[in-house]
Structure 1
């Protein structure tokens, strides 16, 4: 995409930018910096950067790169939305050479179903096979 580049190199990621956004997001509000840093270090991350190396978007996959991946923490900074960055990012993720042949790629989203459907994501079937331990208030001290 003209004027932007995608990197998967950990050293390129702007951890301050990523934490600033994600810690305010509905899915990880209040996540401690050290928790997010650990999550990023143990994930396969994708960052979108301007020509001046400013990070404007991010996504990470929790994956073994062989059978399974969970796509998480996807965002585009508000001032860069509407330029096709999210579509480009998701397209690059699902076509990445290290992620081919996976049996399952999952994600959870409150409001971006239309975006992900364009890249083959569908509602979970059969839903009754899936279980979870879910603690959405963990970063706020809720049990």
Structure 2
């Protein structure tokens, strides 16, 4: 996309921009900055930048790059929405050479089903086979 670039180079990421968005998100509100930094360091991440090098988007994948990936922490800053950037970001991930041949790539979304379905994501068949340990208030509990 003209005027934008996507990079997997962690050195280019602006942790403050990423943290300000994700720590105020519905899915990770209140996440400690050190926890997010550790998550980013241990994940395969994609940053999106405008022509001035300012970070405007991000996505994090938890993956072994061979069999499985979990797509998480996807965002494009509101001031850059409506330009097709989220589609470009998801397409870049789905098409990335390190992510070909995966048996499963999953994600959780409350409101972006239309975006992800354009790239082959579907509702989980047989959800009864999936299990989880879910601690939705863990970031708030650590403050007590």
TM-score (normalizing by structure 1): 0.98
| CA shift for structure 1 position 4 | 0.2
**Which whole-Å CA distance do the structure 1 matches of 2:109 and 2:141 have between them?**
23
**Which whole-Å CA distance do the structure 2 matches of 1:82 and 1:7 have between them?**
21
2:79 aligned with 1:68: no
| CA shift for structure 1 position 126 | 1.0
Structure 2 unaligned spans of 5+: none
Q: Which runs of 4+ in 1 moved over 6 A?
A: none
**Which whole-Å CA distance do the structure 2 matches of 1:134 and 1:124 have between them?**
18
Aligned counterpart, 1:88? 88
SS of the residue corresponding to residue 106 of structure 1 reads: strand
SS of the residue corresponding to residue 6 of structure 1 reads: strand
SS of the residue corresponding to residue 6 of structure 2 reads: strand
Indicate the RMSD between aligned Cα atoms, in angstroms.
Answer: 0.8
**Which whole-Å CA distance do the structure 1 matches of 2:51 and 2:77 have between them?**
16
Aligned counterpart, 2:127? 127
After superposition, the C-alpha distances for 1:32-85 in whole angstroms (9 at most, x for unaligned) are 000000000000000110111000000010000000000000000011000100
**Which whole-Å CA distance do the structure 1 matches of 2:123 and 2:131 have between them?**
15
**Which whole-Å CA distance do the structure 2 matches of 1:102 and 1:84 have between them?**
26
Q: How many residues align?
A: 142
| CA shift for structure 1 position 2 | 0.3
